[in-house]
Every structure is written in structure tokens, then in C-alpha cells.
Copies of this chain bind each other. A is one copy, B any other.
């Protein structure tokens, strides 16, 4: 018998309680024992909800109950969530979480405590919602090195970009729709400015490369400056604009970024649309892989949490360690990363166009014109080289790297 406490009875927490109840027989068959929720912690009351009889407002009741072997954190944030998970691990209880902010900021410390105490700290649901990605990274892709991991990790922005692309609508317009549908918050900055995707790629990169990648080191750009004009040009070029969170190893250097990027048709991420998420992984032994699914939503995310509960229950006598070295991995400056770039000029006559092509293009390139401006894809060059050249052209109003 594994007795668990669920911290937070919001969307994910209530989904976890629901699945643990609805799938009780399946989970008992899988783990060989009954998994039951002894407490749910929330500041609020839920009059009439069946959870009422196990609801507590004081975490110490959970912490001090030796029967509780597992704490399931779905509160979010890095305040109380951190305090409670750390206290639970120190008290000898396993923990799992759906909280990317917690894992990105305190993952190294919490994993170290779990290992020290021979406990599990797991967080499959913190990235990619219902998509199995963290466990496959550390239990299936172990025969070689990951050289790139690139994800569409934020469903809200992917929904918005898909709408802009397919319906030719403006950013502000699709943001309002995303808010009306509940996909975007009233303050949408965590999504649209890329902070959510940044924490997620930091977690994936830490596991894939086996060393702590600090999200604060990752250059992060959102989608707030993507316009109808950019979308129209991209479409004409047969390219798709996606918000990509990426970490690449090239010649021993590690580059990481969150940025809108242009994808070519044929790239596995090209067709990932709407609120779906996907993670592309390139390994030196496996070749190219992609994991695709619902990146958010109550039941998909809660099911990933419950999968952690099942694994922890099956391995309650040992620490299954996702494994990253705590020593921080030093990222290289993105000025050294090589790409092609989509460049848009707000204005410029044929003479400006000629100068621009001389500066940016060494290969045959196609220029598209939407008067009074134009746009094209540059030759491959480092970001540093691009920026040097771009300084001479004040008419440049947009630059988006092309994903290779």
C-alpha cells in the first residue's frame, strides 16, 4: 500500500485524484499494491466535492504522518512548492511534480536530496504534458550522445502561430482568442515571451546532456514581434514559423535558445500545429527521433504525473535517478551559432536590395517583395556575422533564424 498526498487541488491536482480513483484497478495490477490518496492540500475549501473529507490546509499534517510515502506536487511556483517538496524528501517521502519552474530552479538540489536519501524525485509531467519524454531520455537514449534537442514546448504560442499562419490574422487578434478559450492567461507573458518554454528546454537539456543547464543562461525571445507580414512572407517561402526551444551541441560547444524560428517542410516539427507539443531529438547513435502529443490539458498532464506515481511505487526501495551532474554546463554565446536568417526590410528600393544581397547572400537567394519592403533568406553565417552586417541596414525590421 502506497499512501500519497496531493499538494494543490487545481486543474492538474484534481486530475491526478480523478485518475488514481478511476484507474485504481489498473494501477494496483501494475504496481502490485494499492495506491491511495490520504490527503489533498489546498488553501481553499471545496464544499460538496468528495475530496472534502481528505482536504487539509496545513502541510505539517502530511509531513508528520509517517504513513504518507509520497508527495505529489501540483501547486506550481517556486515558493511553497519548493519548501514542501524539500521538506517531504528530507522526511523520507518520495516526491513527484508537474512543476517546471520548480524543477528548472531547484531540480539539482532536490535530486541530490532524493539520491542521498535513496528516494525518488520525478517530474515527467513538467515538460510536454502527456508526452513521455523525460523517462525515455534517461532510460532509452542511453547508448549514445544527444547532439540536439528541439521542442515545440508551449501549446499556447503554437496555437497562436498556427492561427496566424492559417487564417492570416494578427498577433493581438489571436492572443485575444487564446485568452477567450482559456489557453492564455490574462497576463500572457510567461507563454508569449518564451519563459515557459525556456524552463522546459533547460530541464530537457539537463537530462539529455547529463549536466545542469541553468534556464537563466538561455537566451529567450518570444513571439510578440511576429507580424502578419512575417507570416505572409514565410508562407510564400514554404516555411513555417514556430517558437522553438532548442539546445544543440556543435564542435564541442553547446548553444541553447528559445526563439521563433523558420522550419522547412520535411522537418518533423513542421506539421505540429495547434496546442500540440513535440520534441525532436537528434542522437549520434539513434538518428532523428520525435515525440508528439498533448502538451497540456488536465488529463494528459495528470496522466504523466500518475505514471510517475506508478514508477515510484514500483521502485519505492531505490532511487531511480534521472541523472545530471550538478556542475553547471557553460553555454556558448549564440553569436557563434551558424544559421540562415530570414530578414525583412520595412522599406528599400532596388538599390538597397542589391546592397543587402551583396552583404548577406553568397548563394543564390530569392527575394520576395511586398512594397515598400522586401524579405529574403541569407546565406549561412554566424549570428555575430549577421549582426555585423545588419548594423549597416537600419531598414531591417525583422530577423528570424532558420532551423537547420
Are A132's CB and B140's CB within 8 A? Answer: yes
From residue A274, how far is it (CB to closest CB) to chain B in Å?
10
Whether the Cβ atoms of B23 and A303 lie closer than 8 Å is no
Query: Contact mask A286-308 → B, CB, 8 Å, 1/0?
Result: 11111111100101101111110
Query: What is the number of residues of chain A that contact chain B, defined by CB distance less than 8 Å?
Result: 47
| CB <8 Å contact, B307 and A141 | yes
A361 beta carbon closer than 8 Å to chain B: no
Q: A303 contacts B130, CB within 8 Å?
A: no
| A42–chain B nearest beta-carbon distance, Å | 22
A30 interface residue (CB < 8 Å to B): yes
Question: Which stretch, A142-150, A198-206, A255-263, touches the partner chain B?
Answer: A142-150
Closest to A272 in B: B268
Closest to A278 in B: B290
Q: Is the interface of A mostly helix, strand, loop or mixed?
A: mixed
A265 to chain B, nearest CB (A): 9
Q: Given the complex, which residues of B lie within 8 Å of A286, measured CB to CB?
A: 130, 293-294, 299-300, 303-304
Please determine whether B288 and A303 come into contact, CB atoms closer than 8 angstroms.
Answer: no
Q: Using Cβ atoms and an 8 Å threshold, which residues of chain B touch A310?
A: 142-143
Determine if A141 and B132 form an interchain contact, defined as CB atoms under 8 angstroms apart.
Answer: yes
Is B290 touching A293 in the complex (CB atoms < 8 A)? yes
A355 within 8 A of B: no
Task: Report how far A285 CA is from B26 CA in the complex, Å.
Answer: 13
- Interface check A311, CB cutoff 8 A: yes
- When distances are taken between beta carbons in the complex, the residues of chain B under 8 Å from A243 are none
Q: With A26-B145, A323-B30 as given contacts, are A139 and B311 in contact (CB-CB < 8 Å)?
A: yes
Kindly state whether residue A223 has any CB partner on chain B within 8 Å: no
Q: Contact mask A121-155 → B, CB, 8 Å, 1/0?
A: 00010000011100110011111110000000000
A24 to chain B, nearest CB (A): 11
Which positions 279-336 of chain A face chain B at CB distance < 8 Å?
283, 285-294, 297, 299-300, 302-307, 309-311, 323
Give CA–CA (A19, B145) in the complex, Å.
11
Complex Cα distance, B293 from A72, in Å, reads 33
CB distance from A269 to the nearest CB of B (A): 10
Partner of A27 from the list B142, B268, B271 (CB cut-off 8 Å) is: B142
Decide: A142 and B271 in contact? CB cutoff 8 A: no
Give the distance in Å from the alpha carbon of A374 to the alpha carbon of B107 in the complex. 61
Residue of B144, B271, B307, B309 near A140 (CB, 8 A) is B307
B299–A287 CB distance below 8 A: yes
Name 18 A/B residue pairs within 8 A (Cβ), A-sorted: A19-B143, A23-B144, A23-B145, A29-B210, A30-B142, A130-B289, A132-B141, A139-B139, A140-B307, A142-B307, A142-B310, A143-B303, A143-B310, A270-B271, A286-B299, A287-B297, A287-B299, A292-B292
Please list the 3 inter-chain residue pairs (A to B) with the smallest Cβ-Cβ separation, ordered nearest first: A132-B140, A143-B306, A285-B303
